[in-house]
Structure 1
Amino acid sequence: MKHQEKLSEENLTELNEFVLLDFADIPHLQWFLFGLFLVIYIVIVMGNGTIFMITKLDTTLQTPMYFFLGNFSFLEICYVSVTIPRLLINLGTQRRRISLTACATQMCFVLMLGATECLLLAVMAYDRYVAICNPLRYPLVMNQKVCIQLVAGSWISGIPIQIGQTCQIFSLSFCGSSQINHFFCDIPPILKQACGDIFVNEMLVYIVAVLFVTVPFLLILFSYTKIIYTIFKLCSTRNRAKAFSTCSSHLMVVMLFYGTGMVTYLRPKTSHSSGTDKMLSLFYTIVTPMFNPMIYSLRNQDVIMALRKILCK
């Protein structure tokens, strides 16, 4: 009886740190995973860094489309730098403890950069919409001032809301097990550790997810519906193929990022499981940024030519 009372008291003790289990369930692969994620991180930084560099250095790529692509590549470097270094430290040292402050900081940056990515993908879709559906007005509509405003808006818009959401989540009391079966501080696993009724918190998470995930996705969907309709009206097969080639890379990135992101944050609570959340998060935080440079460079002759020029020099 006394033992049960002691356990219940321990369960009600408020937590002041978490333990990120990441891949602790496969101890024999820790150093293999450390090497794998280190290589992935280097590939992401070098790949996206190369695209960012050539969009700034090559004069033929000084257009709105490549201005947005350069910003997107820089964003991807920032995005993975919030999660992978911490994962590498955990795998290398086997010390997986993280304070509430560090956990809140990591979550806040993941949410802010994730919101920026959603908005920036919508901006890139709008750019392609104007270029293909209104080509004569394109230089006027997408001038330098507008491009800078769109990018700045994408970076800044999510900051106050995501800081507020993070503060609201970490104002909760956390009790029970301190172990989180994840490799970074994400919303679903953190809310599972909260004490008491979290219905309001979950509703706010859904509202913010709809605002920063669903609304940009619908704008992208509308843009590409108009784009595809316009492309099919083109008489020249060559022009049609060129237009499809320009848009296909962006569409692939959108499907990779939004597919996993929407399933993670908008599916019912009853269908959440730690293993599934972890695998989905791997896709939109690590796999997508790794494939982005390949998708954009291998399918884009302008990028390939600019890279060859820089390498020749």
Structure 2
Amino acid sequence: MSSFVLFVIVVLEVRGHNIHTAFSCADLPDGTYADPDVCTTYHLCHSRINYTLRCPEGQVWDRWLHHCRLADISKCCRGDGCLESGEVVAEEVVAGLSRRVESLERENERPNQLMEQVAAENIQLRNELELLKAKVDSLDGRLVPGLDIPLPTAVFAVRVVSAGFDDSAAEGGCAEVWVGGHQQALNRRGINVVIVEEISGQTEDSQRFDTYGDPEAGVKLRDYLRAVTTGRVVLIAVKDEGSKYAADAMEELRNVGTTLPTMGYRESWAIIGKKGSKTSWFVEDRRQRYHGPTVVEALIPVSA
């Protein structure tokens, strides 16, 4: 830093060479000072040494701002006498402040306009929301679980949820089968089955087969599915663990539409199918242990 100051002083000394003036720095602290006689000249006092400098052509030394500035020299100086009394500077300061105030006012107008626009849009959105609520309330139809969307009476909504024992979604697992917004599964350990009449969309039967704790449960499930009327909608959800004794029922499960060769330990597994054929709305999914739950949904046309 000291080297830089020394360099500046040397440069200024060179620039001030041959400029003769009666100005003295002998009793002044370090700093810059206006020349009392010539408004285009100023003095740099450093260690009581006077470095006399001139402003660039067309500029005068501003004793209040302490730098050279553009000015009409004829208004500032008369011959060698400096008439600068601060009036010119004051006028410029006032003009500058006035321009700044105008700029700030223009800048403030924009946020105010945006706030008014947002408020108007908010009112419009609220009105539209009220209209939509009124339409929803006026429509008569069954609802998809969790969605306020009325459906035509020609279809019914189905949602099947399965979670194994180790899935984080439900402690000990879960099995839910929603038909037209109503939960129909027994929600007990093993393979939960719900049968829906395909023409009316009404639940016909709901059973649970404990294919973990009952060695005969796989055979019971096989015989149960064999007895289901062809064409019925078959909805299946596994809770907790259902693979241990399920092997005897796998062939009949394929008749509902499943393509899985077997079931994994504590996997979550959900099916929306039809006895005897595979339809366009058939859906099946499963998740390995720790990665459930499994959720499948479908809109099933009546008389499918």
Instruction: Name the TM-score, length of structure 2 as normaliser.
Output: 0.18
Instruction: Name the TM-score, length of structure 1 as normaliser.
Output: 0.18
Which protein has the bigger helix share?
Answer: 1
Which structure has more relative contact order (CA 8 Å, sep 6+)? It is 1
**Bigger CA radius of gyration:** 2
